[in-house]
């Protein structure tokens, strides 16, 4: 009996605990945090079938306190009066959603957000506020990034980033009433400039009212029979047989009743004029309209002048058009509109999570320099300038780093240049600016790596003392300096040297790594490795530049089978700024070779000491030959000064066949060619002469 009472007591306790359990869907707390923000609040969106990604939701963001429900969220006075520090992200906490601040007052802002996650199922979003960085107050509100397409007509000048006029006519925008008027005697189309990617289901509605109808108005001259105006979503050009996938169109209709003449007729529908209405009393008409396409493929065209036209249509629009053709007394007016993704019922907000603060969401970072004796390097962390060495706790999330000192001057001989960023010892980025994402409790060690190459500066002839300038510093040869990778300025200050009492030397030019670079006293030298720089002096009044480098490398193809084909590359080295390879000629066995690269072909040295030109060729060996071949070839090219230059090199290869047990075939050509190659070998020739002498002496002894 006691056991039963104990079991009953435990059951009552368990059921009481269940009564206090919150079965609501709880947001998964994002480990990452949007850099620079003090607060955020989770928003759980109720998944709605067909909503998918990139759905636009409209939030009312209140600066004060209140109950968060529906699309109303309160920030408790922790955001700016301009709402410039408000951002939205998906569930990872750092991927920002495009948004547009539709309107704002001192109390609240209406903000449209394009959700970059699939809200066909429940999703968590975050609203961030309370930015602590220098970016505070810089909104990222962007109309064109948020909607499929939208036009508020809020500027008297046509937005040429959105629209293009395919003809003449007159376009007038009223930024107060938010309307555009098209008119004139010339037929023309005002169309969206870029192709629009329409979703499977969408709504074309008034810009300033959700599911609101767009304003329309038209007037007409009784005497004119050629007056058309259309607003449509379309895939091509306007025609009288196809006004648009969904459209509203005004056109003329003649009536004989007084006053006799052409009246305004309004058509709306899919493709052509499915529904119509004619103004009987005057030549003007005001109306409102809206387009919807649902996931099933059905198009609904609403018009205030009559019933809704519903029709299935599988055409996919890619533009918005406003068309006009008519008389000087006619015009066509449409109001502001927006196009957004749309399903019915639309997604709703399930609930809001509690406000989260930056505290407890930190990670740590250190920044140092390499070499570690580089003093006081400067960098930016999230737009705040810092000094190396640096160590701090930062918010988990996405951050940016920028090396401010791309060149560090230690003294007259040592100038280091930025090379890369390292993260935890590994190369992270070769750009001075980079971004990184850090999670809660993670520790990153960043290193700004600086580099310098050894540059030995002397003279030729050797042993001279000459003054020169490097990067604005006065130096004297011979000396060793260190310069980071990149361009550096050099200037010869000593232009005349008294070699002895009888000989005078004059400045001739610069050698870098034993190659003549320039005859100018000032040079801009790119240093990418340890280098030798020589200031050259000459006894001649007008020194001549040393011979240029132009050579083709030896090509070794190894062993080849008779009747085989081998493609190979001919590599040409040159020290000119640019050359044009005009022809390549093989001195023997020309019929065996084919040049594959179309000639002439150009090559440039760029910033390298020696440039490389590569020409593809093909060797086809005959079936009936064997032996070792050393084929000379000549390369002819022209410099940028139209000087013809040539060089010679060789292609070497050995043609040999695998021996056959069952059959051996020696052709006449192959036999004689083999004999010629044997006799051409000096060792074999000496052995053959010795054999002949021995046989001759042996014969004489026999006699």
H-run or E-run covering 696: helix 682-702
Give the residue-averaged pLDDT of 640-649.
86
pLDDT digits (tens, 9 = 90+) for 13-72: 444 444 444 434 444 455 578 877 889 999 999 999 999 999 999 999 999 999 999 999
* Integer angstrom CA distances of residue 352 from 40, 68, 127: 11, 7, 10
Higher pLDDT, 5 or 653: 653
The C-alpha atoms of residue 541 and residue 503 are separated, in whole angstroms, by: 12
Give the residue-averaged pLDDT of 486-503.
81
pLDDT digits (tens, 9 = 90+) for 257-286: 766 667 788 899 998 878 888 776 666 889
Q: Kindly tell me the burial class for residue 273, based on how many C-beta atoms sit within 10 Å of its own C-beta (0-12, 13-18, 19 or more).
A: middle
CB of 413 within 8 A of CB of 489?
no
Residue 231 CB neighbours (<10 A) = 29
Q: Per-residue pLDDT for 138 more than 60? A: yes
Residue 291: which residues within 8 A CB-CB, separation 6 or more?
Answer: 203, 204, 233, 246, 299, 300, 301, 302
**In 3-state terms, what secondary structure has residue 590?**
helix
CB of 49 within 8 A of CB of 119?
no
Per-residue confidence band for 666, with pLDDT thresholds at 50, 70 and 90? very low
Q: Is the pTM of this model over 0.75?
A: no
Higher pLDDT, 341 or 679: 341
- % of residues, the chain, pLDDT over 70: 84
The C-alpha atoms of residue 191 and residue 238 are separated, in whole angstroms, by: 10
Please count the CA atoms within 13 angstroms of the CA of 569 that sit on its side-chain side.
6
Q: What's the confidence (pLDDT) of residue 544?
A: 41
Give the residue-averaged pLDDT of 676-684.
56
Q: Which of 5-14, 130-139, 359-368, 470-479 is the most confident on average?
A: 470-479
Residue 153: which residues within 8 A CB-CB, separation 6 or more?
Answer: 173, 174, 175, 178, 179, 180, 207, 335, 336
Higher pLDDT, 206 or 686: 206
Q: What's the confidence (pLDDT) of residue 681?
A: 58
Q: What's the confidence (pLDDT) of residue 258?
A: 66
Instruction: Compute the chain's Rg from CA coordinates.
Output: 42
Looking at the chain, how many residues does it have?
703
Q: What's the confidence (pLDDT) of residue 36?
A: 77
Residue 620 CB neighbours (<10 A) = 13
Sign of the Cα pseudo-torsion (245, 247, 251, 256, in order): positive
Q: What's the confidence (pLDDT) of residue 137?
A: 65
Higher pLDDT, 622 or 500: 622
Q: Poorest-confidence range of 19-23, 52-56, 112-116, 172-176? A: 19-23
The C-alpha atoms of residue 301 and residue 308 are separated, in whole angstroms, by: 6
DSSP symbol at 3 = H
SS (H, E, C) 196-220: CCCCCCEEEEECCCCCCCEEEEEEC
Q: Is the peptide bond before 153 cis (omega within 30 degrees of 0)?
A: no
Per-residue confidence band for 360, with pLDDT thresholds at 50, 70 and 90? low
Structure-token pair, residue 40: 């955020």
Q: Per-residue pLDDT for 698 more than 50? A: yes
Of 335, 333, 331, 334, nearest to 219 by C-alpha is 331
Q: Per-residue pLDDT for 361 more than 80? A: no
Q: What's the confidence (pLDDT) of residue 99?
A: 97
Q: Per-residue pLDDT for 173 more than 80? A: yes
Q: Which of 238-242, 499-503, 552-556 is the most confident on average?
A: 552-556
Q: What's the confidence (pLDDT) of residue 337?
A: 97
Q: What's the confidence (pLDDT) of residue 133?
A: 61
Give the residue-averaged pLDDT of 612-619.
94
Structure-token pair, residue 23: 């079965």
CB of 267 within 8 A of CB of 253?
no
Q: What's the confidence (pLDDT) of residue 221?
A: 60
Q: What's the confidence (pLDDT) of residue 31?
A: 56
Residue 113: which residues within 8 A CB-CB, separation 6 or more?
Answer: 56, 57, 58, 59, 88, 97, 98, 99, 125, 146
Q: What's the confidence (pLDDT) of residue 540?
A: 54
Q: Per-residue pLDDT for 640 more than 80? A: yes
The C-alpha atoms of residue 265 and residue 284 are separated, in whole angstroms, by: 10
pLDDT digits (tens, 9 = 90+) for 306-316: 999 999 999 99
């Amino acid at each position: 009996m006691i056991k039963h009472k104990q079991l009953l007591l435990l059951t009552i306790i368990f059921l009481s605990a269940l009564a206090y359990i919150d079965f609501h869907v709880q947001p998964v707390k994002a480990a990452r945090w949007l850099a620079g923000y003090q607060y955020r609040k989770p928003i759980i969106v109720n998944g709605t079938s067909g909503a998918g990604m990139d759905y636009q939701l409209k939030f009312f963001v209140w600066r004060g306190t209140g109950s968060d429900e529906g699309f109303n969220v309160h920030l408790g006075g922790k955001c700016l009066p301009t709402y410039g520090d408000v951002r939205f992200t998906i569930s990872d906490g750092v991927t920002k959603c495009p948004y547009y601040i539709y309107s704002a007052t001192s109390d609240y802002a209406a903000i449209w957000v394009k959700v970059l996650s699939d809200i066909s199922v429940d999703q968590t979003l975050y609203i961030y506020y309370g930015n602590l960085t220098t970016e505070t107050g810089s909104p990222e509100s962007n109309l064109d990034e948020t909607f499929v397409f939208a036009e508020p007509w809020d500027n008297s000048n046509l937005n040429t980033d959105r629209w293009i006029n395919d003809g003449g006519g007159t376009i007038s925008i009223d930024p107060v009433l938010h309307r555009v008027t098209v008119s004139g005697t010339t037929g023309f189309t005002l169309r969206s400039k870029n192709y629009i990617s329409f979703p499977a289901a969408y709504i074309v509605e008034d810009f300033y009212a959700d599911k609101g109808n767009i304003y329309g108005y038209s007037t007409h001259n009784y005497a004119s029979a050629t007056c058309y105006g259309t607003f449509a979503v379309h895939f091509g050009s306007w025609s009288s047989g196809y006004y648009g996938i969904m459209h509203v169109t005004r056109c003329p209709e003649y009536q004989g009743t007084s006053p006799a003449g052409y009246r305004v007729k309004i058509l709306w529908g899919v493709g052509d004029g499915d529904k119509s209405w004619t103004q009987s009393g005057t030549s003007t008409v005001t109306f409102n309209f809206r387009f919807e396409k649902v996931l099933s493929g059905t198009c609904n065209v609403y018009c205030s002048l009559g019933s809704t036209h519903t029709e299935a249509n599988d055409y996919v629009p890619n533009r918005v058009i406003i068309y006009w053709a008519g008389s000087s007394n006619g015009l066509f007016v449409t109001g502001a509109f927006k196009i957004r993704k749309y399903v019915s019922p639309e997604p709703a907000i399930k609930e809001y999570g509690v406000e989260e603060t930056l505290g407890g969401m930190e990670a740590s970072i250190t920044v140092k320099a390499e070499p570690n004796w580089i003093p006081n390097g400067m960098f930016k962390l999230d737009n705040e300038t810092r000094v190396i060495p640096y160590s701090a706790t930062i918010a988990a999330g996405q951050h940016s780093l920028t090396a401010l000192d791309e060149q560090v001057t230690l003294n007259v001989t040592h100038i280091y240049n930025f090379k890369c960023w390292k993260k935890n010892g590994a190369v992270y980025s070769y750009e001075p600016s980079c971004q990184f994402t850090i999670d809660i409790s993670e520790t990153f060690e960043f290193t700004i790596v600086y580099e310098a190459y050894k540059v030995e500066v002397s003279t030729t002839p050797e042993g001279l003392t000459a003054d020169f300038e490097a990067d604005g510093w006065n130096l004297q040869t011979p000396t060793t300096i260190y310069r980071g990778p990149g361009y550096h300025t050099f200037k010869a200050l000593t232009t005349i040297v008294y070699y002895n009492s009888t000989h005078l030397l004059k400045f001739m030019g610069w050698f870098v790594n034993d190659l003549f670079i320039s005859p100018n006293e000032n040079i801009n030298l790119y240093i990418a490795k340890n280098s030798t720089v020589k200031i050259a002096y000459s006894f001649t009044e007008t020194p001549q530049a040393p011979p240029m480098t132009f050579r083709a490398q030896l090509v070794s193809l190894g062993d080849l089978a008779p009747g085989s084909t081998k493609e190979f590359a001919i590599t040409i080295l040159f020290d000119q700024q640019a050359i044009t390879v005009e022809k390549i000629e093989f001195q023997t066995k020309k019929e065996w070779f084919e040049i594959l690269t179309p000639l002439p072909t150009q090559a440039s040295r760029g910033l390298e000491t020696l440039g490389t030109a590569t020409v593809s060729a093909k060797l086809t060996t005959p079936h009936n030959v064997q032996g070792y071949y050393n084929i000379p070839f000549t390369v002819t090219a022209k410099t940028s000064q139209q000087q013809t230059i040539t060089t010679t090199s060789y292609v070497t290869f050995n043609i040999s066949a695998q021996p056959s047990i069952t059959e051996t075939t020696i052709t006449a050509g192959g036999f004689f060619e083999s004999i010629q190659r044997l006799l051409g070998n000096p060792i074999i020739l000496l052995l053959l002469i010795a054999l002949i002498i021995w046989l001759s002496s042996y014969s004489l002894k026999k006699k």
